[in-house]
A and B are shown apart, each in its own frame.
Chain A
Amino acid sequence: DVKVTQSSRYLVKRTGEKVFLECVQDMDHENMFWYRQDPGLGLRLIYFSYDVKMKEKGDIPEGYSVSREKKERFSLILESASTNQTSMYLCATLANRASNTGELFFGEGSRLTVL
């Protein structure tokens, strides 16, 4: 059973603070994703990674960066948090194309509030 674990379920930060959101998976999936989920806007892709040390920008990468130093861990970094980054952040994994069925496996989400 795939397990995708996000380190923090709820965070409250102040404007300008640096924020780290961590995601760990135990299924040896090559691909990992960070989305933000907002009412009326659905899921929007921030960044994804298809291999260690590789990263690709998604649809809304501004204000974010990521780190993938190990296959199982994908971190989302907000260098200087702003109030418009208040959101639910979802991490997801996907097996490599040869074996994947298109099914993303999601973490439980990290709800970030920036004051």
Chain B
Amino acid sequence: AQRVTQPEKLLSVFKGAPVELKCNYSYSGSPELFWYVQYSRQRLQLLLRHISRESIKGFTADLNKGETSFHLKKPFAQEEDSAMYYCALQTGANNLFFGTGTRLTVIP
């Protein structure tokens, strides 16, 4: 069965420090993975997707099929990065499974 695990509910880092939000998945097929973000008082929105291999707001995420991971990384955290982050796995045309989320707090 498909599953997305985000082991950290809360993560605090100092401004300027590197940040890594962990995501592991379980899926027998070919995964498509995403990171969604929800800033305070804003709607949930897509941050990045693995197939695009893009860097958004300084964040990157690499799909590691051997470790079944899709960790989100940023070398220098900013205060505006404080938000709720969800990892998501798309398994079919219309099925997305979300992890339980990690609340990131960047301390000034």
A contact residues vs B (CB 8 Å cutoff): 4, 31, 35, 40-45, 48, 50, 90, 92, 94, 96-97, 101-104, 106-109
- Contact A106 to B9, CB < 8 A, known contacts A31-B94, A42-B99: no
Whether B46 is near chain A, meaning CB under 8 Å from some CB there, is: yes
Q: Which A-chain residue is minimally distant from B93 (CB atoms)?
A: A97
**Other-chain contact of A43, B9, B34, B86 (Cβ < 8 Å):** B86
The digit string for B93-108, where 1 denotes a CB below 8 A from any CB of A, is 1101111110000000
Bound-state CA distance A97–B93 (Å) is 5
Which A residues are CB-close (under 8 A) to B98?
Answer: 35, 42-44
Q: Is B12 engaged at the interface, CB distance under 8 Å to the other chain? A: no
Minimum distance in angstroms from A2 CB to a CB of chain B: 10
**CB-based contact A106/B44 at 8 Å:** yes
Q: In the bound complex, how far is the Cα of B9 from the Cα of A44, in angstroms?
A: 16
Q: Which residues, 64 to 100 on B, are CB-close (under 8 Å) to A?
A: 86, 90, 93-94, 96-100
CA A60 – CA B43 in complex, angstroms? Answer: 22
Q: Are the CB atoms of A42 and B86 closer together than 8 Å?
A: yes
Q: CB-nearest residue of chain B relative to A4?
A: B43
Closest to A6 in B: B43
Closest B residue, CB atoms, query A108:
B43
Question: Which residues of chain B come closer than 8 Å to A106, judged between CB atoms?
Answer: 43-45
Complex Cα distance A101/B45, Å?
13
A40 and B45 contact, Cβ closer than 8 Å, known pairs A97-B93, A102-B34: no
Q: A48, B94: Cβ atoms under 8 Å?
A: yes
Q: Once bound together, how far apart are the Cα atoms of A26 and B60, in whole Å? A: 31
Residue from A42, A45, A94 with most neighbouring chain B CB atoms (10 Å): A42
B56 CB to closest chain A CB (Å) equals 12
